[in-house]
Amino acid sequence: MAGCGGGRKGGLLLSPLTFRGVFFFSSPSPSGEGLGVGLCLTDSRALLDFPTPTPPLKGRGLRKKKRILLSGYIRYTHSMSDLPRAYAEHLARDRRRSPHTVRAYEATAVRLCGFLQTHWGEAIDQAVLARVTTADLRAFLAARRGEGIGNASAARELSAVRGFLDHVTGAGTTPRLKGPRVAKGVPRPISPAEAVALAEDVSEDPDEPWIGARDFAVLLLLYGAGLRVAEALGLTGAALPLGATLVVTGKRDKTRIVPLLPQVRAAIEAYVALCPYGTARDAELFRGAKGGPLSPRMVRRAVQRARVRLQLPDRTTPHALRHSFATHLLGRGADLRALQELLGHASLSSTQIYTQVDAAHLLDVYRNAHPRA
């Protein structure tokens, strides 16, 4: 590959930008076979060198954690790669979508542009995207199906494609295509005894007492206040001192107030007293072992280890504690609207799914107890 300075290599102008890394992709070229070399840039644009007559690689030696995997004979251009980036900025700035959603939708937009460029054999820009038909979208989803995605992933992919095309070409201009049917799953809560046993087991696992107190406090927040994992880990020292309620920032930066049970408050205060890193108002409340923000991955791993030790079902995850919070409150007569506020759901339909859980539980009790069931 040529140097990082400006210049031409294989027909593409390489700008003197800061590189994130180098990636490779093997694909059939017009001459039969070839190796493509690309540069991943800090502004999320990708420039690909033209394929060279080199035996294709299969990914050996590619140790970059965030490498880009491409298929087909694709050449990225500035105009094409700027469209997904602009869409991602729109989602984050105007729609206030979560970072995970922004990242996933941008990746879908990049895949669509790459597919259409290979499919049509021409550079992709706004005018070209305006020509997308239902058949093109169907071909894109068929290609994604060939890569092994299921109905839920295909439906999300189609939703992202619709949003991207509406953003680029104007709302209402995207071809209509019915998405695949996705079976709506019912949340699978665990019992109150299992939730408490899980939190206690997780707290006894670490060697450091403050880490055990931290994990216990996080899990009690999930079960005792119905918080999402990201909401619990997003709390800062500004939440202290604790009172009878807690202000939580949820999806799309919406805030809500949730009651704080005495047991949950005591668990958080015990952790704060043991934490060696202090509780600055602008710093995360829950810290990792080295003082940085606690990762959701570490919470999931701790729950997974405890689940194995306690021989709990696979559905026992950190998010299952939130499901359990909602299901147990509803089973004890909680109002559906009040539960919607506690959970931070934008739509009541998201909360109504817990009524199905409660009905299913009553049906199980009936079948097990009724002599003629």
Catalytic residues: 228, 251, 319, 322, 345, 354
Nearest to 173 by CA among 161, 181, 189: 161
Q: Which residue in the block uniquely carries the two structure tokens 């040529």?
A: 2
User: CB of 341 within 8 A of CB of 368?
Assistant: no
Identify the helix (H) or strand (E) that includes residue 246: strand 245-249
Helix axes 318-331, 296-310, angle to 10 degrees: 70
The residue behind tokens 């031409």 is 8
CB count within 10 Å of CB 94 equals 9
Is residue 326 within 8 Å of 210, Cβ to Cβ? no
CA distance 88 to 67: 19
- What does the block give as tokens for 5? 């300075």
Residue 207, sorted as left (phi over 0), alpha (psi -120 to 50) or beta, turns out to be alpha
Q: How far is CA 28 from CA 35, 39, 159, 164, in A?
A: 8, 19, 30, 28
First-last CA distance in the chain: 73
Q: How far is CA 137 from CA 147, 175, 176, 299, in A?
A: 16, 8, 9, 39
4: region left, alpha or beta (phi > 0 left; psi from -120 to 50 alpha)? alpha
